Amino acid sequence: MSHNLPTLLQVNNLVKDFPIREGVFRRVAGSLRAVDRVTFSIDEGETLGLVGESGCGKTTVGRAILRLVEPTAGLVIFSGDDLLSLSPREMDERRTNMQVVMQDPISSLDPRMSIKDIVAEPFVAHGRLKGQALRDRVAALLEMVGMAPQHLWRYPHELSGGQRQRINIARAIALSPRFLVLDEPTSALDVSVQAQILNLLADLQRDMKLTYLFISHDLSVIKHVSHRIAIMYLGRVVEIGPVDEVYDNPAHPYTQTLLAAIPAIDLDRKRKRFLISGEMPSALTPPPGCHFHTRCPLVQETCRRVEPAKATIGKEHSASCHLLR
């Protein structure tokens, strides 16, 4: 897409293990690898779509980048800063540049706070604005996300789902960040509301030159919003590339099955019926070799033993599958 733009975020071999505690004394008995050596980069002004089924680790990737959970290993370079080497205080200073919008619009808002206080919180927390200036700014933000100022005095439970997500977005862009992690921002919304929110996010990206990491399980939404997409399966990125190329030419068998499984309203869309059996294995006991081999229709002997290396398919398009070499 935007090849001449500088890279804003570089993620290298990101790993997140969650300890598993057992027994009365909560002893660490093992670990669950939620994110397994994930690597990607996002250019300035670009949207990277991160797709996968529930439990594949996509949400953890977003939270680990923002250090809402501490990554176990890897490198996260944001605008030249190595985020994982920063002290908590230094990290807090960088947080104004990177924000998050989460899936469930209602539980992302403190039910005891008015909309005014919710949107003002970033400024108050950073001691940036006060009094009338703050009130004006909050009203302006509400307008930016398409809400009338009389909502200032309302409380989250009085708003509709779409309005709540607008408030979440207003709070996220309050400090003029450069980068947003959008974690399933429209999954809890109805289609007609989803369309409004997707349009709003597109407008904001253009006007504020925002860079997005858009996490979703919905392939139609991802297709609509992303420039490039990365597909995750059981903690690993199995395929990454420009969105049109991946959709037209899915290389990894998992991507192919995923695309085939979407119930689509374009009834005449040509597609192979390519149903896979079974479900994603638990991350507690990941299968050896290629994680997908337990369900892959094209599985071979090597797949069960050896983890596939990344194979280049086209410009910026690569996938990890033994069949591609």
Partner 1 sequence: MGDLLLRVKDLYTHFYTFEGTVKALDGISLELKRAETLGLVGETGCGKSVTALSILGLIPCPPGKVEAAEIWFDGVDLLKLDKEEMRAIRGKKIAMIFQEPATALNPVFPVGEQTAEIIRIHKQVSKREGMQKAVEMFHLVGIPDPDRVSKKYPHELSGGMNQRVMIAAKLSSNPALLVADEPTTALDVTVQAQILQLMKGLVQRFRTAVIFITHDLGVVAEICDRVAVMYAGVIVESSKTRVLFENPRHPYTRSLLQAIPKLVERIDRLPVISGTVPSLINPPSGCRFHPRCSLADSPCKVEKPSPTSVEAEHWVSCFRYDQGD
Partner 2 sequence: MRLIEVLIRRRSSLNSFRDTHAHQLRELRFILHQLRRSPLSLAGIGIILTLVCLAVFAPYIAPYPGDAFYDMHPDKKLLAPQKGHWLGTDDFGRDMLSRIVFGTRLSLMIGIYVTGLAVMVGVPLGAIAGLSGGRLDEVIMRVTDIFLSFPPLVLAMAISAALGPNLINAIIAISVTWWPWYTRIVRGQTLSLREQPFIEVARALAVSKRRIVFRHLIPNSLAPVTVQASLDVGYAILWTAALSFVGLGAKPPVAEWGLMIAIGRRYLPDSWWYATSPGLAIMITVLGFNLLGDGLRDVLDPRLRR
What is the Rg, in whole angstroms, of the alpha carbon atoms belonging to the chain?
A: 21
Interaction between residue 318 and partner 2 (CB under 8 A): no
Name the residue type at position 283: A
Interaction between residue 66 and partner 2 (CB under 8 A): yes
Q: Which does 90 bind (CB under 5 to 8 A by kind): partner 2, partner 1, none?
A: none
List phi, psi (to 5°) of 82. Answer: -85, 100
* 175-234 positions binding partner 1, by CB under 8 A: 190-196, 198-199, 202, 217, 219-221, 223-225
Tokens representing 303?
């797949």
Three-class secondary structure of residue 46 per DSSP = coil
Map residues 153-172 to x or -, x wherever contact with partner 2 holds by CB under 8 A: xxx-xx---------x--x-
Give residue for tokens 């008015």: 114
Query: Total residues at the site for partner 2 (CB under 8 A)?
Result: 34
* Ramachandran sector of residue 209 (left: φ over 0; alpha: ψ -120 to 50; beta: rest): left
Q: Which does 247 bind (CB under 5 to 8 A by kind): partner 2, partner 1, none?
A: partner 1
* 225-284 positions binding partner 1, by CB under 8 A: 225, 244, 247, 257-267, 269, 275-280
Interaction between residue 150 and partner 2 (CB under 8 A): yes
List phi, psi (to 5°) of 196. Answer: -60, -45
Interaction between residue 128 and partner 2 (CB under 8 A): no
53 or 307: whose CB is closer to partner 1? 53
Interaction between residue 54 and partner 2 (CB under 8 A): no
DSSP per-residue string spanning 286-313: PPSSSGGGGT-TT--TGGGTSPPPEEEE
* 96-115 positions binding partner 2, by CB under 8 A: 96, 98-100, 102-104, 107-114
Interaction between residue 58 and partner 2 (CB under 8 A): no
Give residue for tokens 């190595």: 82
Cα dist from 35 to 74, 114, 133, 176, whole Å: 10, 36, 43, 29
Tokens representing 48?
């990277």
The alpha carbon dihedral of 265, 269, 273, 274 has a sign of: negative
Binding site for partner 2 (CB under 8 A): 63, 66, 68, 92-93, 95-96, 98-100, 102-104, 107-114, 121-122, 125-126, 150, 153-155, 157-158, 168, 171, 175
Binding site for partner 1 (CB under 8 A): 53-54, 160-163, 190-196, 198-199, 202, 217, 219-221, 223-225, 244, 247, 257-267, 269, 275-280
